Amino acid sequence: DGAEAVVVSADKDFQQLLSEQISIYKPARGDRDFETITAASFEEENGFAPPRFADQLALWGDSSDNVPGVPLIGEKTSAKLLREYGGVEDVLAAADDVGGKRGESLTEHADQARLSKELVTIKTDVPVRFDWHELKQQEPDEEVLKQIFEELEFGSFLDRITGNGEQSGGDGAASDGGDSELDFDFGPYEEVRTFDAEQVDYETITTLEGVEALAEELGAHDRWAFDTETTSTDARRAELVGVAVSWEEQAARYVPTPLPDDAACTEEVLDALRPAFASGAEKVGHNLKYDLTVMAQHGVETSGPFFDTMVAHYVGAPQDTQTLDAVARKHLSYRARPIDELIGDEQEADTMREVPVAEAAPYACEDADLAFRLVDPLTEKLEEDGLMDLAKEAELPLVRVLTAMERRGIEIDRAHLAEISEEIGAEMRELEETIHEHAGHAFNVNSTQQLAEVLFEEQDLRVVSKTSTGNPSTKESVLQELSDEHPIPSLVLEYRSMAKLKGTYLDSLGELVDEETSRLHTSFNQTVTATGRLSSSEPNLQNVPVRTERGRRIRRAFVAEDGWQLMAADYAQIELRILAAMSGDEAMLETFRMAGDIHTDAAARV
C-alpha cells in the first residue's frame, strides 16, 4: 500500500524482501551490535539485488532450516556465482563453465537446488486484509485486563490498574504515543566503538632489525600483551603466521612469520623475540593457554607472570560469554572485527596464512591492544567484587599449570584398548544373535526404525512415547520401561552400552594419540562451566566410566611411563567442609574434627 516497513529480525531469510520501502533492523546478538540493513547497503555488500538472496540460499543451503542447498557451495562461492551468472537457473546452466568438483556438484544436485529455492522463497502474495488504523495504540480495556491479571496472579500488573501502583491509562505518556516513565536508570549511554585506523598506532614490522628493536622495546616494559595468528584452532598442530604485541593502549605491532619478501625466516624472527618472551614482564593475553602452547610448539618458552583476560573475566562473570569480542564490548564498549570477515565462514574458511599481511595486521594488533586495555577495568572489577585474591592466587597461575598438563599429555596402552575392543566386539555379536533369536529373524539392531517395527508391530509391545515425527520412540527410557515386558529391550540397552564404550573410548582414544609424542593430549577448559569446575574436551577424559568393570578396565589403559606411577587425589567431602566452616555449625565441625562420617552423624541426629 505504499507504506514504509521495518522488519525487526535476526533471520537472514528476510533480506530477500528488502526494497526502497522495506528495511531490516537486526537486533544485537552475542558480540554483534544492532544493525540496519537497507536494499542499498545489501547490494553494496553483496554485489547483487536483494531478491537474489533467495537464489543464494538455494545454492548455499541453510542447515538450521533443513534447506539442503548444493554441496561444496558455501556463502562466498554462491555470491560469486550469482554475481557472475545471475539466478539459480543461470548458475545451473553454467555448471560446465564452473567446472571442477563444484561444477559436478551443481549438475548432480540441480533438482536439490531448485527445491531449496522453493523452500527459502518467502511468499508475498498471501491475501492479508486489515485496516491500518487497527494497529494504532489504544487505551486498554481495564476490566478485561483485571480478569486476566487476576487469573494469572500478576499482582504488580494488577496494582497498576487498581490504584495501588502506577496508572497505565488516563493521561499517561503511553496513551498518547510517548515513552512511559521508568523507575530505574539505564546509566549514561556509551557509543560502541569499532576499529578506526586514524585513532590507533598499529604497525607491521617487516625487517629483522625492526624485530630486534621491538624485542628491545618490550624489554623496557613491565607488562605487555601478545596474540598469535595461526592456521588452526588446534594449538599443537597450528603453524605460526604472526605475532602481535601491545604495551600501551591503542598501539600495537605485528610481526609476520616469516617476514615478507624473505627478509627473515620464522626461526630467525622467533630467535629475535625470544629474550622478550623469556623476560619477567607480565604477559597479557586472551585465552593465553592457546598462545603459550603455540609459542612453545615453535620453540619459544614464555615466562610469567600471566594475566589472562578471559580467565579474569570468567572469575567475576562465569555465566557470561568469554570471547574477546564479548568482554571488550562489556568493559570497553568496543566491537572487535569478527574473524570470519577475514577467513570466511566455516564451510569455506581460509586460514590466516592466506590472508594478506596488510589485512591480517590490523586484526592481530587489535586483539593484542584490546587484551592490554582490558587489564585495568578487569582488575578494578575483581577488586570491587572481592575476587582479586582468588584470581591472583588460583585461577591466573592455573593457566601455566593447565598449559603444561596439555602439552605433557598422558600415555595410553593402545594394545590394552585393542584387546578390550576385540572382546567387547565378540560379546556384541553374541548379544546381537540373541536379540535376533528373540525377534525370530535378523535385523539391524542399530536401526531405530527396524527396532521399532520389531518391538511395536511384530511383538505388539505398547508404545510408550513417540518421536517428533510421530514414530514410536526406542530411546533409553522407553526401553527401560519395556524391559519387564519382553527380553529384547533390556538386551538392546546392553548392546547400546557396549557400542558406546567401544565407539567412544576403545576405538577412538587410540586413534587420538599424537604420533610425535605417543601420548594423548586433551584440552582442559578453565572458563566453560558456571560452577568453576574444569571441563575436558577433544577428547573428554573426565567422563571415562568407572562404575562398571568394563569401565574400570578402560581406565587401566591410562598408564605411567616406566619408573613412574599415577597418583589420584581428591578432596574428601569438600563442599560439606566449606559449609561447616561458613555456617559455624558446631555439630558438623565436631564431626570433621573427630574424622567421623558426616552422613552417619546427620542420620543419627535426625
Considering the domain architecture, whether residues 394 and 452 belong to the same structural domain is answered as: no
Considering the domain architecture, whether residues 231 and 304 belong to the same structural domain is answered as: yes
Considering the domain architecture, whether residues 13 and 116 belong to the same structural domain is answered as: yes
- Domain boundary among the residues 486, 509, 524 is at 524
pLDDT of residue 174: 41
Q: Is residue 308 assigned to a domain? A: yes
- Above pLDDT 90, what percent of the chain? 62
Considering the domain architecture, whether residues 300 and 349 belong to the same structural domain is answered as: yes
Task: Give the pairing of strands 282-285 and 523-525.
Answer: unpaired
Comparing 138 with 260, the larger pLDDT belongs to 260
- Domain boundary among the residues 524, 543, 563 is at 524
> Which residue range is the domain that position 383 belongs to?
197-407
pLDDT of residue 124: 84
Q: How far is residue 100's CA from residue 95's CA, in Å, rounded to a whole number? A: 9
Considering the domain architecture, whether residues 106 and 18 belong to the same structural domain is answered as: yes
Q: Is residue 555 assigned to a domain? A: no
Q: Is residue 17 assigned to a domain? A: yes
Considering the domain architecture, whether residues 202 and 329 belong to the same structural domain is answered as: yes
- CB of 380 closer than 8 Å to CB of 283: no
- Domain boundary among the residues 85, 120, 155 is at 120
Residue 1: pLDDT above 70? no
**The domain spanning residue 358 has which CATH number?**
3.30.420.10
Considering the domain architecture, whether residues 237 and 333 belong to the same structural domain is answered as: yes
pLDDT of residue 32: 66
Task: Give the pairing of strands 223-230 and 282-285.
Answer: parallel
- CB of 46 closer than 8 Å to CB of 16: no
Considering the domain architecture, whether residues 394 and 422 belong to the same structural domain is answered as: no
**The domain spanning residue 454 has which CATH number?**
1.20.1060.10
Considering the domain architecture, whether residues 457 and 583 belong to the same structural domain is answered as: no
Measured in whole angstroms, how far is the alpha carbon of residue 474 from the centre of its chain? 30
DSSP states of 501-562: HIIIIITTTGGGS-TTTSEE--EEESSS-TTS--EEESS-TT----SSHHHHHHHTTEEPPT
pLDDT category at 105 given cuts 50, 70, 90 is very high
pLDDT of residue 155: 80
Residue type, 539: P
Q: How far is residue 528's CA from residue 380's CA, in Å, rounded to a whole number? A: 23
Helices 53-60/110-120 angle, 10° precision: 130
Adjacency order of strands within the sheet including 410-412: 519-520, 410-412, 558-559
* Residues in Cβ contact with 542 at an 8 Å cutoff, skipping those fewer than 6 apart: 534, 535, 536
Q: How far is residue 291's CA from residue 117's CA, in Å, rounded to a whole number? A: 44
Q: Which of 377, 269, 263, 389 is nearest to 327 (CA)?
A: 377
- What integer is the mean pLDDT of 34-42? 90
**H-assigned helices in 317-457:** 324-332, 340-343, 357-384, 388-390, 396-408, 414-439, 448-452
Q: Is residue 428 assigned to a domain? A: yes
- What integer is the mean pLDDT of 51-64? 91
Q: Is residue 29 assigned to a domain? A: yes
Q: Which of 108, 48, 104, 39 is nearest to 78 (CA)?
A: 48
Considering the domain architecture, whether residues 392 and 472 belong to the same structural domain is answered as: no
**Tally of domains within the chain:** 5
DSSP states of 32-74: BPPEEE-HHHHHHHHSS-GGGHHHHHHHH-BGGGTB---TT--
Q: Is residue 544 assigned to a domain? A: no
Specify the range with the lowest mean pLDDT, choosing from 125-139, 466-480, 516-530.
125-139
Specify the range with the lowest mean pLDDT, choosing from 56-65, 176-185, 384-393, 527-536.
176-185
Considering the domain architecture, whether residues 151 and 240 belong to the same structural domain is answered as: no
Specify the range with the lowest mean pLDDT, choosing from 198-212, 286-300, 336-350.
336-350
Residue 510: pLDDT above 80? yes
Residue type, 215: A
Q: Is residue 386 assigned to a domain? A: yes
pLDDT category at 65 given cuts 50, 70, 90 is confident
Sign of the Cα torsion 515, 517, 522, 525 reads negative
Q: Is residue 545 assigned to a domain? A: no
Considering the domain architecture, whether residues 251 and 379 belong to the same structural domain is answered as: yes
CA distances from 341 to 256, 355, 579 (A): 19, 11, 49
pLDDT of residue 194: 87
**The domain spanning residue 10 has which CATH number?**
1.10.150.20
